[in-house]
Structure 1
Amino acid sequence: MMEIKKKLKGSNVLIGMLIVQVIATGLQLLSKVILSHGTFVFALMTYRHVVATLCIAPFALIWERDSLMKVTWSVLFWLFMIALTGIIMAMGFFYYGLKETSATYATNFLNLVPIVTFIFSTVSRVEKLRWKTRLGKIKLLGAILCLAGALTITFYKGKVFYISHHHKHQNSSNYHEHKLRGTIFLMCSCMSYGCWFLIQSKVSKLFPYKYSATFIISIIATIQSAIIGVSMDRRKASWKLGFDMQLITIFYSGALATAATLCLISWAVTKRGPTYPSMFNPLSLIFVAIAEAFFLGEEISIGSLLGMFLIIVGLYSFLRAKSKEFSQIGSPNVGDAEVPSPEIEATTPRSNMELPILARESATFQSTTIQVASPILKQDEDEEEEEEKQCI
């Protein structure tokens, strides 16, 4: 029994990350169902972040109450930009892309977010490519494999088969038209996420309080979604809530996919480091593909399977190389004075589209280390002063 308890205790972080991916799978399927039935995207985003705000509020007000007094206009501006790029643009484009395609197809693009972020950070010289090193070559190869997988899924279909008997029949011309439009939305979502994670490197230094920052971001995102949504569609029917699948999805996404996922990933980062949670993201792609084919009757093609394989292999290669580079160098930007590193954020593509926390976790770890070391040094100095007084 003791050995079993030890094994269970040692695998609790693993179980937690598997739960995160299961929650992400449920979110993708529920979102696909309600969006296919005509749910207004910005109404969904508004109500979702109202629930998320209520769920995060206790953590921010109890554990980080003092941090709210440190919110300046500069911090507020950057939190506003995070909500705009990471929620309104990234999540909004993703929902529209999900509506036009399938959950499996859209999840494939979310796994490309680390690669897009890596490209953006390299072009903007926030991060070095280091392509002459072995790890740099592995990262570059992983990025190429992910890109090849995305192109394969987009342009190659191959033989099609179904797991469920109640598969859907769809017009070929309309399907390709919607798929092209959805692909454009998903590409815009990936680029928005890339910009979002770069902004995190700025905010993590200005305001390294994950719960308070998430609480404020949720409030801002709610206001932004409501204003944009009302500007696009003022019909009461678009904003009406009933006891149906839409209401279930709103509470599911706000309470589980935002609040619960935030806490689980934060806990996993504390236990195993910032790269560990991101290694599980490709699992949601597999879970979504199987669940969507089984429950929603979506088709599975040879091209999608081949593309998924390339993306998963490329993503794992990229993340493993990033992890080893971080452990060897300590920071990938050694030699670059006070340049924040986005590689921690880049390793968190967040297949469930949730608020970023790993950048703020990293900043918290660094500040904690400094705060722990300083009292020890101070105590040593006090002891030396006492010894000198005694000698005198």
Structure 2
Amino acid sequence: MDSSDAVKKWMAWSEVFISMIMVQVFATGMQLLSKVILNQGTFIFALLTYRHVVAALCVSPFAFCFERGLSKKYTWSLLFWLFINALTGMTGAMGLYYYGLRDTTATYAINFLNLIPIFTFIFSIILRIEKLKLDTIEGKFKTLGAILCVGGALTTSLYKGKDIIHFGHPKIHHNSTVNISQRHHWTRGTFMLVGSVMSYASWYMVQVKLLKIFPFKFTLTMLTCMVTSLQSAVIGLFIDTSKVSWTLGWNLQLITIVYSGALATAATFCLITRVIPKRGPTYPPMFNPLALIFTAFFEALIFGQAITLGSLLGSFFIMLGLYAFLWAKKKEYKKFQAQAQAQANVQVTVVGDEG
């Protein structure tokens, strides 16, 4: 390999790596900003409504540029699955997550996002979309990873232990955070976060069906964000119709909405869709624990939220289990690619012999 090839390979690797680091930085910023405005009393369904309007506007140029002119069929079946897609993956999953985040802490809440691949795997087994395959090394590691992740989540939820890292008093003023310790409702928040994870896992099941009938990712994301905004607005108006809850001002709430829609949704989607064709579907989730580390550090620094022994142990088990699970999925993905390539070669050989 000459120097030019080495440089190109390094450039390609660094582009993918930096893209995934950016995704985790965006996720960290969203966690911290959302925690602040939720503590200030922001109405969650107003946040969901406005966030996804921004996200739809940000994704729409990509949909019009890259998927304009492609043949798209809008049927009643598609509208039904779009509705379910928005309800499970955004309105339900994000709504429950925001309620869980408000009742706990950013570090505690983000731990649960690492459980999404595990719950998706469990649902796939139940629905017989995927087989357990305990007779293979991949099947054993996936099962081990699932057990470690669930054990880590239980450790984080049920065991606090002593404070390990504590930077002292919060750097953000007391009035802006509404005394964080008084807003913690751990049991209720944990149930909300588990519900969010299950909703996200259900969403991946819906994606399998939806992408078969509508394989246009940018347009699909734009439409889903639009449907999510409508769903959130309707649900929100049933809960709270006061003008104060729906009014936007030039404040941190507006910044969070724009940030969440533009960076945490639109930019993140674009970066991940660029990386998956180059590194496979298991590559992006491998970086998820970085958001946990970033969030834990900055939450301790900004909010004065102590990092406990239970949180560290639980996070360690979740990260260990996640990497075991993703390693097994990566091995399976490579085997699947090799089998598909071998089958394609056989077909080409058969056609050549017939000719």
- TM-score (structure 1 length as normaliser): 0.81
Take 1:270 and 1:197, find their aligned partners in 2: how far apart are those partners? 18
Corresponding position of 1:58: 61
Take 2:310 and 2:52, find their aligned partners in 1: how far apart are those partners? 36
Choose which of 302, 315, 321 in structure 1 pairs with 2:309. 302
Task: Find out whether 1:132 has 2:135 as its counterpart.
Answer: yes
Choose which of 126, 147, 170 in structure 2 pairs with 1:123. 126
Q: CA deviation digits over 1:291-350, x for unaligned, max 9?
A: 111111111100000000000000000011011012113499x9xxxxxxxxxxxxxxxx
The alpha carbon displacement at 1:103 in A equals 0.5
Take 1:92 and 1:265, find their aligned partners in 2: how far apart are those partners? 23
Q: How does 1:185-224 map to 2 (within 5 A)?
A: 185-224=192-231
Choose which of 315, 324, 327 in structure 2 pairs with 1:317. 324
The one-letter amino acid of 2:74's match is V
Task: Find out whether 1:80 has 2:87 as its counterpart.
Answer: no
The alpha carbon displacement at 1:11 in A equals 1.1
Choose which of 257, 261, 266 in structure 2 pairs with 1:250. 257
Choose which of 309, 322, 326 in structure 1 pairs with 2:333. 326
Corresponding position of 2:247: 240
The 1:80/1:164 distance shift into structure 2, 3 A limit, reads: same
Aligned length: 337
Corresponding position of 1:231: 238
Q: CA deviation digits over 1:93-114, x for unaligned, max 9?
A: 0000000000100001111011
Take 1:22 and 1:230, find their aligned partners in 2: how far apart are those partners? 33
Task: Give the alignment's Cα RMSD to 1 decimal.
Answer: 2.6
Q: Is the 8 A contact 1:143 1:314 kept in 2?
A: yes
Take 1:184 and 1:331, find their aligned partners in 2: how far apart are those partners? 41
The alpha carbon displacement at 1:5 in A equals 7.5
SS at match of 1:195: helix
The 1:171/1:198 distance shift into structure 2, 3 A limit, reads: closer
Choose which of 154, 159, 163 in structure 1 pairs with 2:162. 159
Q: Which moved more, 1:290-299 or 1:307-316?
A: 290-299
The 1:226/1:15 distance shift into structure 2, 3 A limit, reads: same
Q: How does 1:1-392 map to 2 (within 5 A)?
A: 7-67=10-70, 69-167=72-170, 178-330=185-337
Q: CA deviation digits over 1:130-170, x for unaligned, max 9?
A: 01211111110110000110010011111114432214897
The one-letter amino acid of 1:219's match is M
Take 1:267 and 1:27, find their aligned partners in 2: how far apart are those partners? 21
Query: What percentage of residue pairs aligned between the two structures are identical?
Result: 55
Q: Is the 8 A contact 1:43 1:226 kept in 2?
A: yes
The alpha carbon displacement at 1:271 in A equals 1.9
Q: Is the 8 A contact 2:102 2:183 kept in 1?
A: no
Take 2:338 and 2:96, find their aligned partners in 1: how far apart are those partners? 32
Structure 2: stretches of 5+ with no match in the other structure: none
Q: CA deviation digits over 1:191-212, x for unaligned, max 9?
A: 1111111111101211111001
SS at match of 1:317: helix
Q: Is the 8 A contact 1:48 1:250 kept in 2?
A: yes
Q: Is the 8 A contact 1:68 1:212 kept in 2?
A: no
Take 2:234 and 2:255, find their aligned partners in 1: how far apart are those partners? 23
The one-letter amino acid of 2:44's match is V
Take 2:160 and 2:48, find their aligned partners in 1: how far apart are those partners? 32
Take 2:337 and 2:135, find their aligned partners in 1: how far apart are those partners? 19
- TM-score (structure 2 length as normaliser): 0.89
Q: Is the 8 A contact 2:28 2:295 kept in 1?
A: yes
